[in-house]
Amino acid sequence: MQTLEKLTERFWYQTPVSETDRPILGAVVGNERTLMIDAGNSEKHASYFLDELRKNNIQKPDLVVITHWHWDHIFGLPALDIPSVSSAETKTKMQELLPFSWSDEDIDERVKQGVEIEFCAEAIKKEFPDHRNIKIKLPTITFHERMEIDLGGVTCVLQHVGGDHTTDSIVVYIKEEKILFLSDCLYANMYAPENNYTVKRTLDLLDQLVSFDADYYIFSHWKAATKQEFETETTMLSRFATLTKEFEGNQQSIEEEYKVQVSRELNEDERETLQFFVNGFNLDLD
Ligand SMILES: [Zn+2]
């Protein structure tokens, strides 16, 4: 069950749905304008968010920002009759989706060819069980590296950060509220034969993220995390990246040293992350 949550005075968000891969959608409410963050995985998803805002008497969005090109963040765009902003790279990647057909057969064919991944194919079929009228609407405004939007009393910094999940990822820093909307940037690269993290991209990304002073961090497929939860995640990623480099991707050595550093066995999340770094190291060698 999706709910609309108020995190701070000027920031609301709708909770994610894992089955259909619906990410968190955000609304930053300024004195003059409202900025929506991400368009959702379908027109239904976007419309539902707008309905929830209306029910809570929140000023409707004037502008929407897209954090990266993945389907679950952009398929809702046609339902929004407002200008949209993205990085120039995101727009280029969205243009590549224009010729695609979204029938079961065509999606399955793209999975076979390695263009689409099984996980997304399944989620698309669940989100659009019958009328799969998917349209790709391109962003109105694009930027390189950085852009600031003044909403009246609250400012949003859109910053390109890249990372393994996808190179076009941006974050949205809501300055006055001290919220960093990470979207998916800290997740692994899933559009590859094996999910992976690479050492350099991870360390570069972490370097950029620590420069933002925030109390809350939005992970689009998880939740609004506290600073402490964010630090637990980033410390783990940083440790694995450093050890992967040191032990040249040797899974057993990395695991042994990691256990020493944390003084316990690895948990499930850490095991998975370690595997992704090992996959990424082997990829670097190819
Ligand atoms: Zn994504």
Going by their DSSP bridges, the two strands 4-8 and 63-65 should be labelled as: unpaired
Closest among 24, 20, 29 to 49, alpha carbons compared: 24
| Ligand 1 geometric centre to CA of 250 (Å) | 28
pLDDT of residue 284: 63
Closest among 139, 204, 218, 235 to 173, alpha carbons compared: 218
Please check the confidence at residue 286 and state whether its pLDDT lies above 80. no
In a domain, 58, yes or no: yes
Q: Are 192 and 228 in contact (CB under 8 A)?
A: no
| Ligand 1 geometric centre to CA of 32 (Å) | 30
List, in order, residues 6 or more apart from 42 with CB less than 8 Å away: 75, 76, 127, 128, 134
pLDDT digits (tens, 9 = 90+) for 88-102: 999 999 999 999 999
Tell me the CATH number at 140.
3.60.15.10
As a whole number of angstroms, the distance between CA 33 and CA 76 comes to 20
| Ligand 1 geometric centre to CA of 267 (Å) | 24
pLDDT of residue 285: 62
| Ligand 1 geometric centre to CA of 165 (Å) | 7
| Ligand 1 geometric centre to CA of 16 (Å) | 13
Q: Are 170 and 158 in contact (CB under 8 A)?
A: yes
Q: What is the mean pLDDT of residues 129-154?
A: 95
As a whole number of angstroms, the distance between CA 99 and CA 134 comes to 12
| Ligand 1 geometric centre to CA of 38 (Å) | 11
Closest among 201, 198, 136, 203 to 168, alpha carbons compared: 201
In a domain, 185, yes or no: yes
pLDDT digits (tens, 9 = 90+) for 17-36: 999 999 999 999 999 999 99
- Per the structure, the count of domains in the chain is 1
* % of the chain with per-residue pLDDT over 70: 99
Mean pLDDT of the chain: 96
| Ligand 1 geometric centre to CA of 90 (Å) | 12
| Ligand 1 geometric centre to CA of 82 (Å) | 22
| Ligand 1 geometric centre to CA of 19 (Å) | 15
pLDDT digits (tens, 9 = 90+) for 240-268: 999 999 999 999 999 999 999 999 999 99
Q: What is the mean pLDDT of residues 140-161?
A: 98
In a domain, 114, yes or no: no
Q: Is the sign of the CA dihedral 213, 269, 69, 193 positive or negative? A: positive
Residue 14, Cβ density class (10 Å: 0-12 exposed, 13-18 middle, ≥19 buried): buried
Lowest mean pLDDT among 9-18, 127-136, 159-168: 127-136
| Ligand 1 geometric centre to CA of 201 (Å) | 16
pLDDT of residue 20: 93
The residue segments making up the domain with residue 186 are 4-98+136-205+212-226
Residue 43, Cβ density class (10 Å: 0-12 exposed, 13-18 middle, ≥19 buried): buried
In a domain, 259, yes or no: no
In a domain, 21, yes or no: yes
Lowest mean pLDDT among 111-125, 211-225, 230-244, 272-286: 272-286
Measured in degrees and rounded to the nearest 5, phi and psi for residue 49 equal -65, -45
| Ligand 1 geometric centre to CA of 188 (Å) | 9
In a domain, 93, yes or no: yes
| Ligand 1 geometric centre to CA of 86 (Å) | 14
Cα 179 to the center of its chain, rounded Å? 15
In a domain, 108, yes or no: no
Radius of gyration of the chain (CA): 19
| Ligand 1 geometric centre to CA of 286 (Å) | 24
Please check the confidence at residue 45 and state whether its pLDDT lies above 90. yes
Q: Is the sign of the CA dihedral 102, 106, 108, 114 positive or negative? A: negative
Other CB atoms within 10 Å distance of the CB of residue 258: 20
Residues lying with their CB under 5 A of ligand 1, a single-atom ion: 70, 184
